[in-house]
Structure 1
Amino acid sequence: MAGILGRWGDGSEKTLALDVIEMLSRHADQTLGGLSVWLEIRSYPAVLFVTGYGLGLVRSRRWSDLHDLLAAPIQKRNDRGIERTVEKLFLGCWPGGNNDYWKNLDGFERRKTALSDHLCGLFQNWSNSFVGASLDVERLYENWEILSSLAYLEAAGIGDIDAALAQGSSNGWVWFPIGRSAWHEDMREQILESLLSDPTKSELLEAGFAKRDQNFLSKSVSNYRRLAGRMRW
């Protein structure tokens, strides 16, 4: 349902989608007793909704609505203020995003990006209704992850990124959550080259990505490549 809203919506559904995400997230944050791992993965439904809606938005190239989704304010756990959706419900940003948890899935014991791989495989099965059978869902999913990671980096200042990149490849990057594109180099480079080429680059900047600054986008991508290059396996 979230994917269909993202794929064929016209923007009028955005408030509803964000309300659903907020509701699922608030429900997950309620304090309950029990095993820590089960408490920490209670945000999983919210993560699924954000991912499905985001994939639909990427599929339809609704860049402005995608950026609004990632930048939408959402309540922090225990009512400790506000953060962006991408900072709370993307990959390892949520408590249940611990990679060791997802290694418990059958066949994922040795995966370095177990959650990312799980979500990619899940939506390969779920996405026909809003993606289409002929599209490369793996590429679509990694496109979503890369754009989300770049949106996460918008919290950094360009001076921070410059200072990190100046340190060299051993430890010179500003951290951000990264998924399977860390090791899937060929796909990663295809996607990054596409994002840096017009008209996509101009459309993303106009939509608010990289603070609408071409220089910030270029340096964010350099930072992305730097961290990804250090995480090859």
Structure 2
Amino acid sequence: MPNRFIEKLCNFADLSSEDEDALLLATSNAKKISARTDLIREGDRPGPVFIVLEGWACRYKILPNGARQVMAFLMPGDCCDLHIGLLDEMDHSIQVITPALVATVDRDAMDLLMERHPRIARAMYIAQLVDEGTMRSWITSMGRRTSIERVAHLMCELYLRSRNIGLTFDHHFILPVSQVLLADALGMTPVHLNRVLKELRLSGAMTLERGSLVITDPTKLVQIAGFDENYLHRRMRVVA
């Protein structure tokens, strides 16, 4: 079974066999986690570095009125909070959305790993910069994109990220995220999101049904979203 974390870092640095062996060892303690399990909660003391090897997770915050804001989706290969150990407590929660395989790396062990393997350190830092670029794009969506642009933009992003780790089939991929969770990520009500998804379906751009996203007209979806992948700092693979 491929190690998505290593594959992701290989996109950002020319890792040696020794680097890859070190990463395999670091993630060898991976455990299966049930869906909808919090890995860590807001207010907790920062723990180890979490590495998602299989399944999906999300970052989220709960408001005083009980509303939830999802701030990021984590896919296989993603690493959570490299430097948050510098803080006294977590300022957000992380939950697995689906059954997942998650490795944990002690903070001291991660620091030592990056000290001994500078190419791993470089790749980790670039990955973190990409995460920050993604957050800036989400902020832009919340502040300036219309509802239909916001939804289309997120669908483009999730498709591209899935495609870069080999989880898509032509213009189709499994999107294991409920409409309620998507609405929480988009700052919309589920009813409003459902109307926008219907509008996108009627436009012929995409269809989202039962956890599966089909992009029926990629050009139209990109145009609706005004999507530019530069913030992901990676290029789409050519589809044969």
TM-score, with structure 1 as normaliser: 0.29
Point out the structure with max Rg over C-alpha: 2
Q: Which has the higher strand share?
A: 2
Q: Which has the higher helix share?
A: 1
